Amino acid sequence: MTTPALRALGWNEFFEGQLSEFDLDAIVLARVSAHHSIQVELQGEDGQFRLPVQSADADGRVSVGDWLVLNSSGNRTIKRLERQTLLSRKAAGEEAKPQVIAANINTVFIVSSCNEDFNLSRLERYLAMVLHAGATPVVVLTKADLSDDPESLAERARDLHPDLSVVIMDARDAGQADVLKSWCGPGQSVALVGSSGVGKSTLANALGAGDQATGGIREKDGKGRHTTTSRSLLPLPSGGVLVDNPGVREFQLRDCDDGVADLFEDVAEVIARCKFSDCRHEGEPGCAVRAAIDVGELDERRFTNYLKLQEEQARNAETLAKRREREKNKSRIVKSAVSRKRRHRDEW
């Protein structure tokens, strides 16, 4: 089934290995390039085609980047293939449901601008998500032309993870975007993530992904206008495919324990040196965290963000039932603490 056209779309041995149950003459393979409310756009060997959602994604489990096995007429999904990587976050709203950003992505360009958007804790949040997905993160700092010292921002970003690639550029300049081409070669799938207005679509255009709409930014706070409203898989002249995404204002991690552990390995090593295994790092004797912060070995911001992201991803990984159970227990504990206090008061 491995044809150059499928390879160009990202088909590889991982997906090929999942076809043993099928009669290869009776199936059509396609990759999801866009998912709208009534139609799904697909890319196959013979180019682009569309199917109604109820034919392509009857049970709502299909996302941009997925590989589908269709029937011989190519008009109904038989199976969604297992994903090689999965980029997801907590969906907006109360319930901690996952929202898929894209499936089967090799490299994620985490885009931030060198002006108001630059924020190390936000970059760490993206990095944990990307590392957890199993994709390679690359931090792209845009709007270098608007910053006095973009190189110092890049240095700070490089410190977030060993071997992290960080590039700075004016995203409007296709020549400068050339440094990203090594991640965008044949068979490679790349996704762009980041806040609205940082230049994701500008970068997509610089990489040759057609003519994506780009928008202005608000004068008063430098924020974007949410110009891109849906995600789509776009072919690149360098041979790979690119998923441009709508900008997000803020997002939460969900079930990213491996990503957080990978990103904050240095922090975990310091914590392991604390004298007490249940150290709260709040001034206990023998606390290695406090000592490391005091001598400048550990950045307090990074430590605090580690605790925050660790707690957030675990909370959002809980099922609704589990969360209700925990909240019930919490209110039971509060109630019993209150009654203990009352009893205590009565005794006085």
Ligand X SMILES: Nc1nc2c(ncn2[C@@H]2O[C@H](COP(=O)(O)OP(=O)(O)OP(=O)(O)O)[C@@H](O)[C@H]2O)c(=O)[nH]1
Q: Which does 217 bind (CB under 5 to 8 A by kind): Zn ion, ligand X, Mg ion, none?
A: ligand X
| Full DSSP string of 85-102 | -EEEEEPSSSS--EEEEE
289 binds Zn ion (CB under 5 A): yes
Q: Is 43 left (phi over 0), alpha (psi -120 to 50) or beta?
A: beta
Among 90, 143, 161, 302, binds ligand X (CB under 6 A): 143
181 binds Zn ion (CB under 5 A): no
The helix/strand/coil state of 192 is strand
Using the CB atoms, write b or e for 137-156: b if 16+ within 10 Å.
Answer: bbbbbbbbeebeebeebbee
Nearest residue (CB) to ligand X, 134 versus 215: 215
Q: Which does 308 bind (CB under 5 to 8 A by kind): ligand X, Zn ion, Mg ion, none?
A: none
Nearest residue (CB) to Zn ion, 97 versus 281: 281
Distance CA 257, CA 265 (A): 12
Smallest gap from Cβ 58 to ligand X, in A, equals 30
Distance CA 163, CA 248 (A): 26
Q: What is the largest CA-CA distance in the chain?
A: 84
Segment 211 to 230, residues that bind ligand X, using CB under 6 A: 214-217, 224-228
The amino acid at residue 60 is G
Among 85, 201, 205, 305, binds Mg ion (CB under 5 A): 201
Q: Is 327 left (phi over 0), alpha (psi -120 to 50) or beta?
A: alpha
172 binds ligand X (CB under 6 A): yes
| Full DSSP string of 95-156 | S--EEEEEES-SEEEEEEESSTT--HHHHHHHHHHHHHHTPEEEEEEE-GGG-S-HHHHHHH
Smallest gap from Cβ 250 to ligand X, in A, equals 13
Nearest residue (CB) to ligand X, 100 versus 204: 204
Smallest gap from Cβ 299 to Zn ion, in A, equals 16
Segment 186 to 205, residues that bind ligand X, using CB under 6 A: 194, 196-202
Q: Which does 232 bind (CB under 5 to 8 A by kind): Mg ion, ligand X, Zn ion, none?
A: none
Q: Which of 305, 253, 255, 313 is nearest to 126 (CA)?
A: 253
Q: Which does 298 bind (CB under 5 to 8 A by kind): Mg ion, ligand X, Zn ion, none?
A: none
228 binds Mg ion (CB under 5 A): yes
Among 68, 287, 293, 309, binds Zn ion (CB under 5 A): 287
By the 10 Å C-beta count (0-12 exposed, 13-18 middle, 19+ buried), 47 is classed as: exposed
Distance CA 25, CA 42 (A): 20
270 binds Zn ion (CB under 5 A): no
116 binds ligand X (CB under 6 A): no
170 binds ligand X (CB under 6 A): yes
# residues contacting ligand X (CB under 6 A): 26
245 binds Mg ion (CB under 5 A): no
CB atoms under 10 Å from CB of 18, counted, come to: 13
202 binds Mg ion (CB under 5 A): no
Among 171, 177, 241, 256, binds ligand X (CB under 6 A): 171
List residues near Zn ion by CB under 5 A. 274, 279, 281, 287, 289
